[in-house]
């Protein structure tokens, strides 16, 4: 309705009538004004300033690095929505170490509130290597699917064997729909961070917490992990804790 020239107040009044009451809409008129103001502020700045400079930088990068790959997604009115970039170094590292891919979407840019998504792996020295970088305007499944599709295109459609991510549902759904042959696993750091919510009284038990972190980090095989995990469950009588058992 906004794109058709209908004012916010009239559009909101229409929603009130369609939903029978304001309480059924799920947000108030003030929320609409705040969201539209934020979008127009960010998008207008991107259109007239930094986005054009970014395109210039990427174009120059492509001239000095012929294997450089970058793609952008624009809105209907030509404004920047999503961006993906990788250089030749990213491609070479992925060719050698691309069996495991970690998706980190925990950072945002300060000025425009874009989601910064780093696509990272680990080399033979156990050091992080960058496979690519994305900037997304929102955290919808469609945005992540676009990013992962561009990543596969940039890597000549070579899929990783394993993809690690946090428990964000949009990321998880996009991973499952885009990487058809990869196994999806949750990042251990996020598991550890989330686990304390399920420990209950065990948060005050230093012996248990030491065991937990030792089991999560010290096992070198699946068999060893299964054995030590079962021992922890038995020792602390955790068979009723459905999250742990």
243 domain-assigned? no
Average per-residue pLDDT in the chain? 86
Q: Backbone phi, then psi, for 17, in 5-degree steps? A: -70, -40
Are 216 and 188 in contact by the 8 Å Cβ rule? The answer is: yes
Per the model's pLDDT, the better-predicted residue between 35 and 121 turns out to be 121
Q: Are residues 173 and 139 in the same domain?
A: yes
pTM above 0.85, yes or no: no
241 domain-assigned? no
Residue 84 has pLDDT above 90, yes or no: yes
Average pLDDT over residues 115-144: 95
Per the model's pLDDT, the better-predicted residue between 144 and 33 turns out to be 144
245 domain-assigned? no
pLDDT bucket at 48, cuts 50 / 70 / 90 = low
Domain count, the chain: 3
Q: Are residues 76 and 167 in the same domain?
A: yes
Q: Are residues 71 and 176 in the same domain?
A: yes
Report pLDDT digits (tens) over 86-118.
999 999 999 999 999 999 998 887 777 889 999
Q: Are residues 125 and 196 in the same domain?
A: no
Q: Are residues 119 and 226 in the same domain?
A: no
Report pLDDT digits (tens) over 65-79.
888 999 999 887 778
242 domain-assigned? no
State residue 3's pLDDT score: 64
Enclosing domain of residue 47: 1-64
State residue 54's pLDDT score: 82
Q: Are residues 116 and 99 in the same domain?
A: yes
Q: Are residues 13 and 53 in the same domain?
A: yes
Of the three residues 186, 202, 221, the one that is the final residue of a domain is 186
Q: Are residues 95 and 132 in the same domain?
A: yes
Cα separations in angstroms, 2 against 6, 12, 16, 38, 138: 5, 10, 16, 15, 19
Per the model's pLDDT, the better-predicted residue between 131 and 112 turns out to be 131
218 domain-assigned? yes
pLDDT bucket at 44, cuts 50 / 70 / 90 = very low
Strand partners, 116: 107, 135
Are 79 and 46 in contact by the 8 Å Cβ rule? The answer is: yes
Q: Are residues 198 and 108 in the same domain?
A: no
């Amino acid at each position: 309705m906004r794109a058709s020239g209908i004012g916010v107040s009239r559009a909101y009044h229409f929603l009130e009538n369609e939903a029978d009451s304001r309480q059924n809409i799920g947000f108030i008129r003030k929320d609409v004004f705040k969201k539209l103001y934020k979008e127009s502020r960010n998008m207008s700045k991107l259109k007239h300033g930094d986005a054009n400079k970014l395109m210039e930088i990427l174009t120059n990068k492509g001239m000095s690095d012929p294997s450089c790959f970058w793609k952008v997604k624009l809105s209907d009115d030509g404004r920047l929505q999503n961006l993906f970039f990788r250089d030749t170094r990213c491609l070479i590292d992925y060719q050698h170490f691309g069996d495991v891919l970690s998706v980190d979407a925990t950072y945002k840019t300060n000025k425009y509130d874009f989601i910064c998504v780093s696509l990272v792996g680990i080399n033979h020295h156990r050091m992080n290597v960058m496979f690519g970088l994305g900037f997304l305007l929102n955290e919808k499944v469609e945005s992540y699917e676009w990013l992962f599709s561009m990543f596969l295109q940039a890597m000549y459609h070579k899929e990783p064997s394993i993809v690690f991510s946090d428990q964000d549902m949009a990321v998880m759904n996009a991973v499952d729909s885009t990487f058809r042959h990869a196994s999806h696993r949750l990042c251990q750091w996020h598991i550890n961070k989330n686990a304390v919510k399920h420990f209950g009284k065990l948060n005050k038990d230093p012996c248990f917490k030491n065991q937990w972190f030792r089991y999560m980090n010290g096992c070198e095989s699946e068999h060893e992990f299964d054995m030590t995990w079962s021992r922890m469950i038995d020792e602390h009588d955790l068979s009723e804790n459905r999250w742990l058992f």
